[in-house]
Amino acid sequence: MDARRSFYLLLPFLVLLARGASAATLKFTNKCTYTVWPGTLTGGGGGQLSSTGFELAQGASFTIDNVPDTWSGRVWGRTGCATDASSKFTCTTADCGSGQVTCNGAGAIPPASLAEFTFVPAGTGQDFYDISLVDGFNLPISATPEGIGSGGSTTSCPANINSVCPPELAVKGSDGSVVACKSACLAFNEPQYCCTGEYGTPDKCPPTNYSKIFKDQCPQAYSYAYDDKSSTFTSAGGSDFLITFCP
């Protein structure tokens, strides 16, 4: 058999191998004492993942396979979800407003703790990831790169910021308990909190008494738009990720 012939015989397997290597996975685990409904949103006009929302019982895990190795987007966890008498699905926190368990291209309505990702293919650079509380907090969350040689470390917001949320930022559930905590930007929409207008550059937008509450609780997470760069983490391109609720 000549070399060219054996190449064409092998081609389908080579394509399969390449495809297998070019996708990442996002694995979700729920360590909270309550059910969480994760949501996913692709950024920058790219296609949505194979799942944009699902139910994750206490202690359960679920993996989204075939995440493109050039994917960028965010994931979050919805709480207090239920289907009402008219079959509409809604959540007390981080709802995406779709009326369904799947979000289908809709993002979390803040406040929502976010895990954000920007992927590059293996061997071409680094994956970037962070936990963001810029739009507020609803539940503890962490992101951990996995896979051979990922070389990155976990970034986490393990604290329950709801328990220290000042009243002017608090979102309360029907039973009066604090279910989420707005960022000061979200609550007051003022330039010094949102880093807009005359506060629109990193050197002109220092931390505030409100952003410091979030930073004290979760030092690894972004607490406001121009938080220091230490909140961005990197791992080898092509890493898989584990997202844990209530790590």
Ligand X SMILES: *[C@@H]1O[C@H](CO)[C@@H](O)[C@H](O)[C@H]1NC(C)=O
Give me the residues that bind ligand X (CB under 6 A), please. Answer: 166, 209
φ/ψ (deg, to 5) at 239: -70, 150
Q: Which is nearer to ligand X, 143 or 169 (CB)?
A: 169
Q: Which is nearer to ligand X, 78 or 182 (CB)?
A: 182
Q: Which is nearer to ligand X, 211 or 231 (CB)?
A: 211
**Least distance from ligand X to the Cβ atom of residue 193, Å:** 10
**Least distance from ligand X to the Cβ atom of residue 134, Å:** 18
Do residues 184 and 169 touch, judged by C-beta distance below 8 A? yes
Which residue minimizes CB distance to ligand X? 209
**Least distance from ligand X to the Cβ atom of residue 216, Å:** 12
**Least distance from ligand X to the Cβ atom of residue 170, Å:** 11
**What is the DSSP secondary-structure string of 48-104?**
PPS-SB--B-TT-EEEEEEEETT-EEEEEEEBS-EE-TTS-EE-SBS--SSSSSS-T
Q: d(Cα 14, Cα 21) in Å, to the nearest integer?
A: 11
Four-CA torsion 90, 110, 154, 44, nearest 10 degrees: 100
Q: Which is nearer to ligand X, 201 or 209 (CB)?
A: 209
